Chains A and B, each alone.
Chain A
């Protein structure tokens, strides 16, 4: 069963605007959440993370928001740049799975000039 879901397979945004990628999870035992970015023919690259004791974490243009009650997290990219075009994966981990990452199926972001 898919415990981490990214319901939007693709997203297109204009350069300079905000990109918002969403992720939902079902397992309340997850306590750490991560976003990865993946280019074709490369492995996923760690982008940003957040623990369950926080509701926001910011790193430069990237901000992750966590809503535990809704079991929802989102990644905001501001401003979006053409180089941000990639597939973004949401992942979650917890002690009951040995901290293995449970991935969503990804959202393909296209930032157009």
Chain B
């Protein structure tokens, strides 16, 4: 058990809909990362938050957004869903210190999103 929790475990929805994925980081970790794993793309970085602020952006679509709350949990919002958004979405957290390269990230179990 990594200490990172994600809900829900599975989500089935229709095209055009909006969903919210939730992540609680390990106790004490200030950084939260979101990754998408689709069949043909492997694990792709979406976005990072550090202590409530956006820190880095990867290949995140404009239809997707995220935020990190004062209690450090994070939510990933996916809107106007398309069939191609079906994937596993992972959240990871780390105790990243400012300026440190030593960044082991600990992953949650993921949310499997199916868009029909």
Whether A46 lies near B45 (C-beta < 8 A) is no
A residues 56-113 touching B (CB-CB < 8 Å): 89, 91, 93-95, 97-106
| Cross-interface CB contact of A101 among B2, B4, B101, B105, cutoff 8 Å | B105
Whether B101 lies near A31 (C-beta < 8 A) is yes
* A95 proximity list for chain B (CB < 8 A): 99, 101
- B positions within 8 Å CB-CB of A: 2, 4, 31, 33, 35, 42-45, 48, 55-56, 58, 90, 92, 94, 96, 99, 101-110
A34-59 interface code vs B (CB 8 A; 1 in, 0 out): 10100001111110010100000000
- A positions within 8 Å CB-CB of B: 31-32, 34, 36, 41-46, 49, 51, 89, 91, 93-95, 97-106
Whether B56 lies near A100 (C-beta < 8 A) is yes
| Cross-interface CB contact of B109 among A42, A91, A99, A100, cutoff 8 Å | A42
A32-B103, A43-B90, A51-B101 given as contacts; is B108 within 8 A of A100 (CB)?
Answer: no
* A100 proximity list for chain B (CB < 8 A): 33, 45, 48, 56, 58
| Cross-interface CB contact of B2 among A45, A97, A103, A106, cutoff 8 Å | A45
Q: Report B82 CB to chain A, min CB distance, Å.
A: 23
* B43 proximity list for chain A (CB < 8 A): 44, 89, 91, 101, 103
| Cross-interface CB contact of A44 among B58, B96, B99, B107, cutoff 8 Å | B107
| CB closest chain-B residue, reference A47 | B104
* A91 proximity list for chain B (CB < 8 A): 43
For the complex, what is the distance from the CA of A95 to the CA of B101, rounded to whole Å? 7
A43-B107, A44-B90, A100-B45 given as contacts; is B58 within 8 A of A32 (CB)?
Answer: no
